[in-house]
Amino acid sequence: MNGLRSLLEEIEVEKISEPVSTELGIVSYLRRCKGPVLFENIKGYPGYRGIGNLCYSREIIAKALRVDVDKLIEELASALDKPLRYDYTDSAPFLDNCEGNPDLKEILPLAVFHEKHKRYYTTGTIVLAREPPNGRINASFHRLMWIGGNRFAIRIVPRDLYRFYTWNRDHGMDTKVVIVCGVHPAICLAAATSYPDLNELEYARVFYDFKCIKIDGIDVPADAEFVMVGYILHDEEWEEGPFIDITGTWDKVRMQPILEVDRVYWRNDPIWHFILPGGVEHRLLMGLPQEPRIYRIVKNTVPTIRSVYLTPGGCSWLHAVISIDKRSEGEGVNAGLAALAAHPSLKLVIVVDLDINIYNPEEVEWALATRLQPDKGVHIIRGAHGSSLDPSTGKTGLTSKWIIDATLPVDANREDYRREW
């Protein structure tokens, strides 16, 4: 039950043995390294290690999930309907070390990610909470900004944890949470997934066999490297930010709730997870979990969909390419409309035929060059609500969205459009 540790023995990892500072040193390596990086000597934290760029590619994620990379989206989509129950245990390696009322910066290798704003953050932290009053477990990624002592400001977007927090706040109660860092990529990917009424830990269990231990009534993966237990306070807030988001631009400063940590647990020789803001891992963990949801919804409209890809150039969030086996006219537009509905943050959807490799931008551009007449295939939707991560939406939050149907006409002579390279 070593989780992350076992995986690090199976994948190629660049090991950094020299002392590295959490204040921009970690960031420097993560920016220039093209794969997982294991920091074996973190300044100020003897005996600690750090992992970054862990979920750096689809190939690494597929290997961690034990699935074929070509079937990754299909397998993830299928698993949404068949989550598995996990077993429980009474022991966990992280129980070996514990400190109450902690000074968080002394115990945790909090990082400064940009020279422009010196804020100490966690980025690889997953918050576990129970739906009030006594419902399912939810797991979701949240960045935490250290504000001193045992306190963070927590960025909460309006999804499940925000709903739990507001219910408790309206009832005059704090929200009990457990925060984990240093877990298997299956749990990372599940925690980044948005799907109604999903216990993300059960979703992860489809791909990874792990056990949970109950901590203050909350299910916690027993092989986590670090575990924090505390409350999101219902009556205190703090200015959180600024912070770089997946677009590579600065997210604005907001008043956010305060998270107060009662105690911290950690394994011997623990491994902390650093996620580079706006980096490949950040974008992939946000974008990849959206693709199975888009796939399912588009498939309901166009059953011959083959795959979905949120492109790196579109920040793995704003632009998508979809391949379909077109059977009738209008299916390309229908697929685009369904994708926009499935992922409201989308701004552009390009629909192509099956012979186009959607993961190859040169092939997609070739399809635009040889199969598209803009006056027929480009469809613009005005006045739609856009993504808060898109700075071009301005203060209104409104945007135009577009669908590019680059599929061939059904009656086209495909020999005329065949590539000979």
Amino acid at 335: A
The 3-state DSSP composition of the chain as helix, strand, coil percent (nearest 5) reads: 30, 30, 40
Amino acid at 223: D
Distances (CA, A) of 294 to 203, 300, 316, 352: 17, 10, 13, 16
Amino acid at 57: S
* Number of residues in the chain: 421
Dihedral sign, Cα of residue 61, residue 179, residue 117, residue 394: positive
61 Cβ partners below 8 Å, 6+ apart?
55, 72, 185, 189, 284, 288
DSSP 51-99: EESTT-SHHHHHHHHTS-GGGHHHHHHHHTT---PPEE-S--GGGGEEE
375 Cβ partners below 8 Å, 6+ apart?
none
From the list 126, 144, 238, 136, the residue with the least C-alpha distance to 182 is: 126
Catalytic residue among 160, 174, 219, 245: 245
Distances (CA, A) of 49 to 8, 28, 41, 238, 377: 12, 16, 6, 30, 52
CB of 36 closer than 8 Å to CB of 11 = yes
CB of 141 closer than 8 Å to CB of 291 = no
> What radius of gyration, in Å, describes the C-alpha atoms of the chain?
22
Number of other residues whose CB lies within 10 A of the CB of residue 127? 23
**How far is C-alpha 14 from the geometric centre of its chain's CA atoms?**
23
Q: For the chain, give the longest Cα–Cα distance.
A: 72
From the list 318, 357, 350, 316, the residue with the least C-alpha distance to 336 is: 350
DSSP 86-141: PEE-S--GGGGEEEES--HHHHS--BB--TTS---EE-SEEEEEE-TTT--EEEEE
Contacts within 8 Å (CB) and 24+ apart, 369-374: 370/417, 371/406, 371/407, 371/408, 371/417, 372/404, 372/405, 372/406
Active site includes 245? yes
- The residues annotated with a catalytic role in the active site are 245
